[in-house]
Amino acid sequence: MIECDVRPITDRPAFLADWTALFSRSAGASFFQSPAWMNAWLGGAPGNAALHRVEARRGGKLLLLGVFAAARKRPPVLGLREVWFQEFGDPALDAVYGEYADFLVAEGAPSGIRSEAVGKMIDVVTGNDAFVFRNLRPEMTGAAQAAAVERNLQIRILHEQPVYVCDLSAGKFDACLSKSLQTKINRSVRLYEERGALKGRIIEPGDAFDAVWARMETLHKASWEARGLPSVFQNQHFISFHQRLRDASPQCAHLFEVKAGDQTIAVLYNLIHGARVMNYQSGFLYETDNRLAPGFVAHAIAAQHYSSARFNTYDLLAGDADYKQRLGKQETTLTSLVLERPTWRNRLRRLVRR
């Protein structure tokens, strides 16, 4: 018999210890469920964060673990009371963008355990209007929907995002690309090589790492501000999170710099999980000559580097940007959704949305 429980997290180190132990028994857990990610995430939790753990056991043995936060209402009076799965419900804090969201589940756990755990969340947390789940894996999406249907909660899909990945097992990465993209990349490479040798390398921890990180920030800010958009590197919570992640788990965070001669044309920030490389952030030097394609060139060089190092997947993470579709193939879909109770605040919100 499966026994589910939901309770406040009063001892964060003890929760992290349970998480770490269960992670070692979990099959298919993503980097965003790893102790490295969770340790950095909990390190940024405000002291007053209303964090809760949801767990499932059989015969006293821990089989499932998850975490959610009861967010403050925004605005304070008429705002919704929301529960956020593996997030804080604070836009500034949640700029630390996790993907492949799911419960941590032990290998061999019974089917349906995720749905039971979501159902327990719904049954125990009764004073809220909605449960927010972002970037769910397909198994978790189905579990959340099943629990909502069983309890007559409305399901509202926020968005669905494809995940494109590059298969690195073939050996020569560019052989997997279309002829037109190969031509585009080769032409750009020739132009860059007029400035000097075109090289990509992983930056080892140390003073150079900080300098290259700063170059990535500068390039990212310049390209986003040119489009009238804010850069995520303006968010101190985001910067602090990744500093904690790099300090505690440097083997999980790669900076890959691409230079043409002495000039940096791209910096990629990649997260490492087993044989999987995930491109999480980047900065590119965009120029007026549109024949130059720093993004395509940098990803191609990085993918070939990791292929030669015997990694098997170069994950471009969620989103349907053109470069992701042209470089990779769709592997899965991540779904963001809200489970809504039939409260007067939700009824009012639906009227306003009309």
**pLDDT tens per residue, range 132-169:** 999 999 999 999 999 999 999 999 999 999 999 999 98
Q: Tell me the average pLDDT across 171-198.
A: 94
Q: Enter the DSSP assignment of 123.
A: H
Q: Tell me the average pLDDT across 326-352.
A: 88
Same domain, 183 and 118: no
**For residue 200, pLDDT beyond 90:** yes
Q: Is residue 318 part of a domain?
A: no
Q: Which residue has the higher pLDDT, 255 or 352?
A: 255
pLDDT band at 73 (very low <50, low <70, confident <90, very high): low
| Number of domains comprising the chain | 2
Same domain, 73 and 24: yes
Same domain, 124 and 70: yes
Inter-axis angle of helices 113-124 and 138-150, nearest 10: 50
**For residue 74, pLDDT beyond 80:** no
Same domain, 234 and 150: no
Q: Tell me the average pLDDT across 316-323.
A: 96
Q: Is residue 329 part of a domain?
A: no
Same domain, 152 and 173: no
pLDDT score, position 136: 98
Q: Is residue 322 part of a domain?
A: no
pLDDT tens digits, 87-119: 999 999 999 989 999 999 999 999 999 999 999
Paired with 284 in beta bridges are 266
Same domain, 182 and 251: yes
Same domain, 287 and 185: yes
What is the rounded average pLDDT for all residues in the chain? 94
Q: Is residue 103 part of a domain?
A: yes
Q: Is residue 323 part of a domain?
A: no
pLDDT score, position 75: 61
How far is Cα 210 from Cα 204, in angstroms, rounded to an integer? 10
pLDDT score, position 347: 75
pLDDT band at 256 (very low <50, low <70, confident <90, very high): very high
pLDDT score, position 171: 79
Percent of the chain whose predicted confidence (pLDDT) is above 90: 86
How far is Cα 59 from Cα 157, in angstroms, rounded to an integer? 36
Same domain, 149 and 183: no
Q: Is residue 317 part of a domain?
A: no
pLDDT tens digits, 282-311: 999 999 999 999 999 999 999 999 999 999
Same domain, 29 and 75: yes
Q: Is residue 226 part of a domain?
A: yes
pLDDT band at 173 (very low <50, low <70, confident <90, very high): confident
Residue spans of beta strands (DSSP E) within the chain:
2-8, 51-58, 61-70, 82-85, 104-105, 130-136, 154-167, 198-203, 253-260, 263-273, 276-284, 313-318, 329-340
pLDDT score, position 93: 93
Same domain, 237 and 132: no
Q: Which of 158, 157, 180 is nearest to 325 (CA)?
A: 180
pLDDT band at 82 (very low <50, low <70, confident <90, very high): very high
Q: Which domain range does residue 276 map to? A: 169-311
Same domain, 155 and 193: no
Same domain, 12 and 146: yes
Q: Is residue 324 part of a domain?
A: no
CATH code of the domain in which 271 resides = 3.40.630.30
**For residue 350, pLDDT beyond 80:** no
How far is Cα 66 from Cα 102, in angstroms, rounded to an integer? 8
**For residue 352, pLDDT beyond 80:** no
How far is Cα 189 from Cα 187, in angstroms, rounded to an integer? 5
